Chain A
Amino acid sequence: GAGVSQSPSNKVTEKGKDVELRCDPISGHTALYWYRQSLGQGLEFLIYFQGNSAPDKSGLPSDRFSAERTGGSVSTLTIQRTQQEDSAVYLCASNPPGTSGGPQYFGPGTRLLVL
C-alpha cells in the first residue's frame, strides 16, 4: 500500500519568507510525527499528534514554527519568516493505532534550503 508521502520533495526559499510543508500519513494511522534532520543538529523531534489529543509541541524550536493536523489525517508544518538555520530535511512519520514507542513509518522528507 501507499506509504507516508510528503510534499514538496525540495523547497528553496529566501530568508524571511514563509513555507508550508505537507505530510500525508498512511491511511488509518492515528499517530503523526514531525522530525527534522540537519547536519549540525542531527535528528530532532518537532511535534507529535495522536488522534484528537492535544499535540506534543515540546520540540518546536521557536514560535515561528507551527503545525496542524486536519481531520486526523493530513498535517501541515508551517515555518514563518524562515532563517538560514531552518535549512534541513523535514521528516514526517506515522504509526497505526496501538503502536507503542516511537515512529515506525517515515516519509521521504522535504529538503528545505533557506538562502
Chain B
Amino acid sequence: GNSVTQMEGPVTLSEEAFLTINCTYTATGYPSLFWYVQYPGEGLQLLLKATKADDKGSNKGFEATYRKETTSFHLEKGSVQVSDSAVYFCALSVDGAQKLVFGQGTRLTINP
C-alpha cells in the first residue's frame, strides 16, 4: 500500500539553526510528493510539492528534493525563524490521484 513516515517530533531548534525534517514513503504507483504546514490556530496550507524524481520543490526558504532512489522527500531550511513554528506534514498522491496520504506530522518549535 501507500504510506508516509515522518521524523518523529517534537523538534525544537534555536532561531537561525538549520532544519531537516525527514520523510520517507512507500508507494505502489508513481507518487507526487507534498509538504503541508499548519501554523498555530490556522488551517492547513500547501508549502511545496514535487511531481517527479529529482524535482526540487521550494517555498518560503524551505526546500525538498524528490529522491526516488531513497524514496525520500526531506524538508530543509537553512536558517529557521520563530515564525516557522508549526506542524509540518509530508504527503503523497499516486498516479495523479487527488487522494492524499499524509504522514503523522512533525511539530516544530523555534526558540528566539
Interface residues of A, Cβ cutoff 8 Å to B: 3-4, 31, 33, 35, 42-45, 48, 50, 56, 58-59, 91, 93, 100-104, 106-109
Q: Which of B8-16, B19-27, B42-50, B73-81 is near enough to bind chain A?
A: B42-50
Using a Cβ–Cβ cut-off of 8 Å, how many residues does chain B contribute to the interface with A?
21
> In the complex, what's the smallest C-beta–C-beta distance from B70 to chain A, in angstroms?
21
Interface residues of B (CB under 8 A from A): 32, 34, 42-46, 49, 51, 89, 91, 93, 96, 98-105
Q: Are A102 and B91 in contact (CB under 8 A)?
A: yes
Q: Is the CB–CB distance between B102 and A101 below 8 Å?
A: no
CA distance A42 to B102 in the complex (A): 8
The complex places the Cα of A108 from the Cα of B98 at a distance, in Å, of 20
Instruction: Tell me how far the C-beta of A53 lies from the nearest C-beta in chain B, rounded to whole angstroms.
Output: 11
Known pairs A44-B102, A101-B93; list 4 more (Cβ under 8 Å): A43-B105, A50-B98, A101-B98, A104-B46
A85 nearest CB across to chain B (Å): 18
- In the bound complex, CA of A108 to CA of B100 (Å): 18
Q: Determine if B45 and A106 form an interchain contact, defined as CB atoms under 8 angstroms apart.
A: yes
- Residues of B near A104 (CB, < 8 A) are 46
In whole angstroms, what is the CA distance A58 to B2 when docked? 14
The chain B residue with its CB closest to the CB of A46 is B99
CA A18 – CA B105 in complex, angstroms?
Answer: 30
Which chain B residues border A45 with CB–CB below 8 Å? 99-101
Q: Identify which of A42, A103, A108, A109 contacts B105 (C-beta below 8 A).
A: A42
